[in-house]
Amino acid sequence: MTTQKPSKIRYWLLAAVAIVLDQITKLAVLKNFQFAERLNIIPDFFDLTLVYNTGAAFSFLADAGGWQKYFFLALAVVISLYLARAIIKDDFGSWGKIGAAMVIGGAFGNVIDRLFYGHVVDFLLFYWKDWYYPAFNIADSFICVGAVLLVLDGFKHKKNDTQTQEAV
């Protein structure tokens, strides 16, 4: 008797949801905001704004002269292909597969920006007094949460691997 593996369609749907949510929110901000315009939502804590990022996280390589666009496009595709392969081959547990799907969706949300606009659209700005966290977007949120889930899944698998080896 063979057991049927659960369908992986749910992971591809999660990645698609991340892309759609990201692009809908970015289009809304692009339609309703001018560059650097801010709308205070929670006083002294959270604003909506419109800024562009030609680099990666925290504007890493933003002033590199343009080549970084292609580097980050290629990097997102390579990482996404690796994660997709890992989902297909069941290299991760359930948390890892969810995390991988979230990273893939977030990465492609930002890839779309780079292809269509030449930069990533960011609009969520958290701050406190003189401190602020660099503006980010929904895709970035999916990537961060997905990465945490991948790390947690890795710890879980390492624990399971250690217990299996000790039993042998």
Catalytic residues: 122, 140
Cα 50 to Cα 29: distance, rounded to the nearest angstrom: 7
The number of helix segments (H) and strand segments (E) in the chain equals 4, 4
**Based on the number of CB atoms within 10 Å of its own CB, is 5 exposed (0-12), middle (13-18) or buried (19 or more)?**
exposed
Among candidate residues 5, 54, 43, 26, the one with its CA nearest the CA of residue 126: 43
Answer for the pair 158, 92: CB distance below 8 angstroms, yes or no.
no
- Residue of 55, 155, 57 whose CA lies nearest to 114: 55
Of 156, 148, 145, 125, give the one whose Cα is nearest residue 15. Answer: 145
